[in-house]
Every structure is written in structure tokens, then in C-alpha cells.
Chains A and B, each alone.
Chain A
Amino acid sequence: MIAACPECENKIDLPDTTRLSEVVECSDCRSELEVVSTDPALLVIAPEAEEDWGE
């Protein structure tokens, strides 16, 4: 399965065993991506904790 990274448009080759809700990493922008559909393959940005060094 080929899916596009929603962050950087990189083409990501997902194995056929990929399941819903699995988290994968984009090899280009290193975003953590959640699989929200397998047919067709669809990825969204997985939520993450932000750093804040400004305090």
C-alpha cells in the first residue's frame, strides 16, 4: 500500500499487514502518522506532546 505523508507529501510504502490505528513514521519529515484507513491507505498526523522551553 502506498500512502502520502500529510505533512510533507512523501510517498510511504506500507506493508500489507498494516492495521487501522497503527502508528508509522515518515522517513522524510519523521512525522508520526496514524493509519485511519487501509483501503484506500490514509494517514493523519498522530498527536504529540510539544516542547516549551520559554518558561
Chain B
Amino acid sequence: MIRAAVLGGAGYIGGELLRLLVGHPKVELAAAVSSRLGGKRIDGVHPNLRGVTDLTFCSEEELGEYDVLFLASAHGSTMSLLPRLAGHAKTVIDLSGDFRLTDPAQYERYYGIEHTATDLLGDFVPGAPELAREALKSADRIAVPGCMANAAILALRPVAAEGLIEPDVTIDARTGSSGSGATAGSNNIHAERSGAMRVFAPAGHRHEAEIAQACGVRPTMTATGVEAVRGVQVLCRAQLRDGVDEAAVRRAYRKHYAGEPFVRVVAQRRGAYRLPEPKILAGSNFCDVGFAVREEPRQLLAVAALDNLVKGGAGNAVQSLNIRMGWPERLGLEFPGLHPV
């Protein structure tokens, strides 16, 4: 057993980490930090954990020594927290956006603030098993990709890596409300949110930079909040290069994902779920990836779906931990999702 601590445990991503870690057979959840709920039971804010843990939130000052520390704190603050927190654990897994981009100029462009820990950027390995499995085996600084970014990267990486598409890609991302965090605001009250399809990022979403970095493409992305609590779906459109047909596209996806434990190629001709659908992935660590080819004009539609809190965050972090520790990748992540739901 290893001992784990979670900082930022009161948020939705933090709560999902707590859920996965209390059920993990090789992890003892030893501490959960909340700046505003110190001393309170974690099942107060995460009621799904009633009866499975008696843990209470602690303050940052009460942290001891652990084998792994998960940072589910906000971007912008994590880069200042890390230098003083790093001594609490050998392995740090960050779920904020602060250490995902290798280029601090890109960070400043997309996040609107200067990066204050540029000397640490080179220490981080992407918490993206499909891209960085070998590096993760010995990584002690891991940066988990953003939820919509991870979906788009998994959709685009095979065809980009195989040279099947032109570099300009448009991405239409849809996300559930849990992606906007656990903090209430006037924009998020039920009367405003219910039934809305809110284009909250018409251009320049932060995840564009991650997708460009991972896939070598030039993405333009829109992000829309839809009538769901969990789930991300991305529709990525790119021009196919000359001579590339549907069979070549399918071969690329098969080649890249044949042995992946949590990526399924879903491009079927029949049924209600013929392309990736986030609805059936809630709570699971799967990312479904599919595609369709349009003949005239020649265009690829690459689709991916995942649970933004699991494969889009906490589940990817635990999968990365499994790799780092040399455990089976599916350990603690076997839940396949629900149907019907």
C-alpha cells in the first residue's frame, strides 16, 4: 500500500480523486486538504462517499509525508504552491493547467498571466498514458491534460502522427456543467443553466495550446456548455491529405489504440451509439474515439467522448499513478459506466 494525499479535495475533480482513491486496492487515502472545509468530513461535500470513509479535510499546514500528492488546485495558484508542497511526497500529480504547457510564452498567452515557476516546467511528464507511457514509468512530476484537450488529443493524435490530415483543425467541444467547477455564481443558477447551450469560449480556449503541443496541429476551438453534469464530446474537423481514404484512417486508429486499456475505437454503422457518446461513459475511465470520412469536400470528422472528471482528470491521474507504480493500468478503474442512465 502507498499513502496518498489530495490537495483541493473539496472541488469536483478533487472529489472524483477521493472516490477513486478510497476504492483503489493499493492506495491508502491518508489526507485531503481543503482551504475552507478543514475539520469537516469529506462525505459532507461529497455525499457519495458516505459509509466508505471517515476522513476529514485538513489544512495544508497539517500535511505530513506521503508517497504521492495529487494537486487539484486552481491554475495560477498551483505553480506557487508546488515549491513548498513538493517536499511532502516523492511523486506529485498535478491536475491544474500550470504544468501542461512546455512553453511559458504559450502559458502566458492562453492563461493571461506570467508563469512563475518556469524552472520546473521541464520536470513534468504528461499524465497521458497513450502518449507518454514509457516516461510515466519513472516520472515523479506528472501533469494531467485538460478534459476537452485530452478528448481532442486522443481523437486527433493517430491521424496527425500518421500524416493523414492537414494541420488546420477546427474543434467543436461540448461539456457538462461539472467542468466549470464547484463554485456557485449567478451564471450557474438552475434558471440560467438549465436547457442552455452556452458557447462560453467562442475562440482561444486554453485547451487549444495543449492540443497543438501534443498533436502538432493548428487548432481553432469553440467550447459549449450543454445540458449535462458530466461528459465531454469533441467534434474535430480536418482536411484529409491527398490519397487518404477511410480505410487508412481506420488503420491509423487501430494501430494506435489496439492495446490501450481505456481507449475504444467506436465507428459503427448501426445503433444509437454508433459514434462516441459521453452519456454512457459517466464514471468510467474510458475515452471512446471514432470518425467519419466525407468524400466531397474530403474531410475527416474525428469524434471523442469521455467523462470530464474521470478520463478528463482524476481517472487519467490514477491511471498515470498505476503506470508509475508498475501496477496494472486498470487497477481501481474497472468501472465500465452505466446503461441506461
Q: Which of A11-55 contact B (CB under 8 A)?
A: 28-32, 45, 48
Asked whether A8 is an interface residue with its Cβ less than 8 Å from the other chain, the reply is yes
Tally inter-chain residue pairs, CB-CB below 8 A: 24
Range class of the B interface residue count: 10 to 19
Nearest Cβ distance between residue A45 and chain B, in whole angstroms? 8
> B253-276, CB under 8 A of A: which get 1 and which 0?
000000000000101111100100
Docked pose: A45 CA to B265 CA in angstroms: 20
Q: Is the CB of A29 within 8 A of B267?
A: yes
Interface residues on A, range: 10 to 19
The minimal Cβ–Cβ distance linking B232 to chain A, given in whole angstroms, is 22
A32 to B269, CA, bound (A): 8
Q: Are A30 and B270 closer than 8 Å at their CB atoms?
A: yes
Which residue of chain A lies nearest to B269 when distances are taken between CB atoms in the complex?
A: A31
B191 CB-CB contact with A under 8 Å:
no
Residue of B nearest to A31 (CB): B269
Please give, as numbers and ranges, the residues of chain A lying within 8 Å of B270 by CB-CB distance: 30-32, 48
| B198 contacts chain A at the CB level, 8 A cutoff | no
Residues on A with C-beta less than 8 A from B247 are: 8-9
Known interface pairs A29-B268, A30-B269, A48-B269. Does A8 touch B274 (Cβ–Cβ under 8 Å)?
no
Contact yes or no, A30 B268, CB < 8 A: yes
Bound complex: CA of A7 vs CA of B247, how far in Å?
8
Task: Using CB atoms, name the residue of chain A closest to B250.
Answer: A8
Bound-state Cα–Cα, A38 to B265, Å: 29
Contact sample, A vs B, 8 pairs, CB 8 Å cutoff? A7-B269, A8-B250, A28-B265, A29-B267, A30-B270, A31-B268, A31-B269, A31-B270
Please give the residue numbers on chain B whose beta carbons come within 8 Å of chain A beta carbons, in ascending order: 247, 250-251, 265, 267-271, 274
5 shortest A-B CB distances, which residue pairs? A30-B268, A31-B269, A30-B270, A29-B268, A8-B250
